[in-house]
């Protein structure tokens, strides 16, 4: 099959779940093209980008000048130099009566340029809802052809809806051929917004379990207990509450250390909080690390915290991949009753779930773990088993191919395709 991925900035380190799908399709012999934006910094990216030569099949939008006059004159130049390739598409992209502000601002014109010489695709897979809208419009213009699948992954079905209104996906729900959600929580959100429940199933974000070696967790000879969190330093990750919880526990246990892996705009605020709580010797902001470095840190870690919260702007998390990776390595975990996390963490089996924004509850569970190290191995083993069964990327990529095939074979775009007999109630889709 020929598959087009419509994405945002590519490549970015924080979106390995998309990368895993791309490489999985290439391994299975399918042709993949990527359409997106060139990120500000491409000096750091996942090694699979180079291994599979993904930049060779990536097509970037021309840079759009902020100055409208410069944008206009550059747009005219793009029209003149590319008109012979697809004149009707270029003219359609400037149709302000049909496409409104997108055409008037010339953003639609810039968006079609990378597609002017593309052939038809079997599948157009849009990663995140807003790029589903983009893919829908590009198909309406005639710049791209194929069955349109959109994946909802988190902020697109939470923050984006709050910011742009509950009707923002109405047209996409009507014109899109099929939809995927990475957890049942977001599937139900999409249905509530108007998506036909027969056109959307849960398809989880996978990880490469073979890269995350399971190891039972025991006390170190020196008695030190290492705790970790991996995630961007942004509000919805709730890292402030992890810090406050560890600070409370540190009053009772002097031999703990909390390592926070990641970076973001809250870094200075969180560092100030650490200093205010007088735990600079016990809580460290380690900054960004590559996957190899993260694995090395988690290999020495005993407990993992994922304290996600609903941000003030409505942004929410799915079952986060960093939590899956920690569980795959055998770490007992503490998560929150937030978004899709309860679909990943089995409370009392692989870890604990606590309310959002409740540092006391996190501290209580940390205290229990520290006092009962005999449960570490059992919970860690249960977490590894659950991730292998439900989130192994090889199984999920096999399923993704089956989903594509059924969408391609389904009836025409205009009649609204659906997967026959597709199960809809689990985070792990079995199409057998």
Report whether pLDDT(411) > 80.
no
Percent helix, strand, coil in the chain, to 5, is 45, 15, 40
DSSP states along 266-330: THHHHHHHHHHTT-TTTEEEEE---HHHHHHHHHT-SEEEE-----TT-----S-HHHHHHHHTT
Report whether pLDDT(432) > 50.
no
> What percentage of the chain has pLDDT greater than the value 90?
85
Quote the pLDDT of residue 430: 30
Average pLDDT, whole number, for the chain? 91
Quote the pLDDT of residue 39: 86
List, for residues 57-91, the tens digit of each pLDDT value. 999 999 999 999 999 999 999 999 999 999 999 99
List, for residues 348-372, the tens digit of each pLDDT value. 999 999 999 999 999 999 999 999 9
Of 44-48, 272-276, 308-312, the poorest mean pLDDT is in 44-48
Query: How are strands ordered across the β-sheet holding 200-202?
Result: 58-60, 31-37, 2-9, 123-127, 147-152, 178-181, 200-202
Quote the pLDDT of residue 43: 64
Question: What pLDDT band is residue 420 in, cutting at 50, 70 and 90?
Answer: very low
**What would the mean pLDDT of 226-230 be, rounded to a whole number?**
97
Class (C level, CATH) for 2-206+396-415: alpha beta
| Domain 209-390 annotated CATH 3.40.50.720 | no
Report whether pLDDT(13) > 80.
no
Q: For residue 92, what are the CA distances in angstroms to 6, 60, 82, 103, 151?
A: 20, 20, 14, 9, 27
Report whether pLDDT(224) > 60.
yes
Spatial CA neighbour of 202 closest among 215, 186, 189, 226:
186
Quote the pLDDT of residue 414: 44
The values of phi and psi at residue 35, to 5°, are -120, 120
> What percentage of the chain has pLDDT greater than the value 70?
94
Round to whole Å and give the CA distance between 80 and 181: 41
Put simply, whether the predicted model's pTM sits higher than 0.75 gets the answer yes
Q: CB within 8 A of 67, min separation 6: which ones?
A: none
Quote the pLDDT of residue 107: 94
Quote the pLDDT of residue 315: 93
CB 229 within 8 A of CB 326: no
Structure tokens belonging to residue 45: 């990216």
Spatial CA neighbour of 344 closest among 362, 317, 364, 365:
317
- Locate the domains of the chain by residue range: 2-206+396-415, 209-390
**What would the mean pLDDT of 105-132 be, rounded to a whole number?**
95
CB 330 within 8 A of CB 383: yes
List, for residues 147-170, the tens digit of each pLDDT value. 999 999 999 999 999 999 999 999
CB 215 within 8 A of CB 189: no
Quote the pLDDT of residue 175: 96
**What would the mean pLDDT of 296-306 be, rounded to a whole number?**
97
Round to whole Å and give the CA distance between 387 and 45: 25
Round to whole Å and give the CA distance between 414 and 432: 27
Round to whole Å and give the CA distance between 239 and 269: 11
Question: What pLDDT band is residue 42 in, cutting at 50, 70 and 90?
Answer: low
Measured in residues, the chain has a length of 432
Quote the pLDDT of residue 178: 97
Domains 2-206+396-415 and 209-390 share a fold: yes
**What would the mean pLDDT of 313-338 be, rounded to a whole number?**
95
């Amino acid at each position: 099959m020929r598959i087009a991925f419509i994405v945002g900035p590519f490549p970015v380190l924080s979106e390995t779940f998309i990368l895993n799908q791309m490489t999985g399709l290439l391994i299975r012999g399918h042709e993949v093209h990527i359409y997106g934006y060139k990120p500000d910094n491409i000096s750091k990216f996942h090694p699979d980008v180079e291994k599979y030569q993904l930049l060779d099949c990536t097509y970037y939008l021309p840079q759009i000048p902020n100055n409208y006059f410069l944008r206009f004159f550059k747009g005219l130049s793009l029209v003149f130099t590319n008109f012979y390739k697809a004149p009707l598409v270029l003219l359609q992209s400037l149709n302000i009566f049909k496409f409104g502000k997108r055409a008037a601002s010339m953003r639609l014109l810039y968006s079609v340029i990378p597609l002017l010489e593309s052939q038809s695709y079997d599948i157009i897979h849009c990663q995140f809802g807003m790029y589903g809208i983009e893919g829908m419009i590009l198909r309406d213009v005639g710049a791209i052809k194929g069955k349109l699948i959109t994946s909802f992954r988190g902020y697109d079905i939470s923050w984006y809806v709050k910011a742009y209104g509950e009707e923002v996906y109405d047209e996409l729900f009507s014109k899109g051929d099929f939809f995927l959600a990475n957890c049942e929580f977001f599937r139900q959100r999409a249905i509530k917004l108007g998506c036909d429940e027969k056109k959307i199933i849960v398809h989880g974000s996978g990880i490469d379990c073979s890269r995350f070696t399971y190891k039972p967790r025991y006390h170190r000879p020196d008695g030190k207990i290492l705790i970790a969190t991996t995630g961007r330093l942004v509000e919805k990750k709730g890292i402030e509450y992890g810090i406050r919880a560890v600070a409370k526990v540190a009053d009772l246990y002097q031999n703990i250390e909390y390592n926070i892996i990641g970076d973001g705009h809250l870094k200075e605020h969180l560092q100030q909080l650490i200093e205010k709580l007088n735990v600079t010797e016990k809580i460290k902001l380690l900054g960004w690390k590559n996957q190899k470095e993260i694995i090395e840190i988690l290999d020495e870690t005993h407990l993992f915290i994922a304290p996600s919260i609903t941000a003030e702007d409505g942004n929410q998390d799915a079952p986060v991949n960093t939590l899956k990776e920690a569980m795959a390595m055998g770490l007992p975990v503490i998560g929150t009753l937030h978004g899709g996390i309860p679909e990943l963490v089995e409370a009392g089996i692989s870890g604990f779930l606590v309310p959002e924004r409740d540092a006391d509850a996190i501290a209580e569970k940390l205290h229990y773990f520290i006092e009962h190290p005999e449960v570490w191995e059992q919970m860690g083993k249960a977490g590894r088993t659950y991730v292998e069964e439900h989130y192994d990327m090889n199984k999920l990529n096999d399923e993704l191919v089956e989903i594509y095939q059924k969408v391609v074979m389904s009836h025409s775009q205009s009649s609204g395709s659906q997967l026959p007999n597709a199960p809809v109630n689990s985070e792990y889709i079995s199409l057998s």
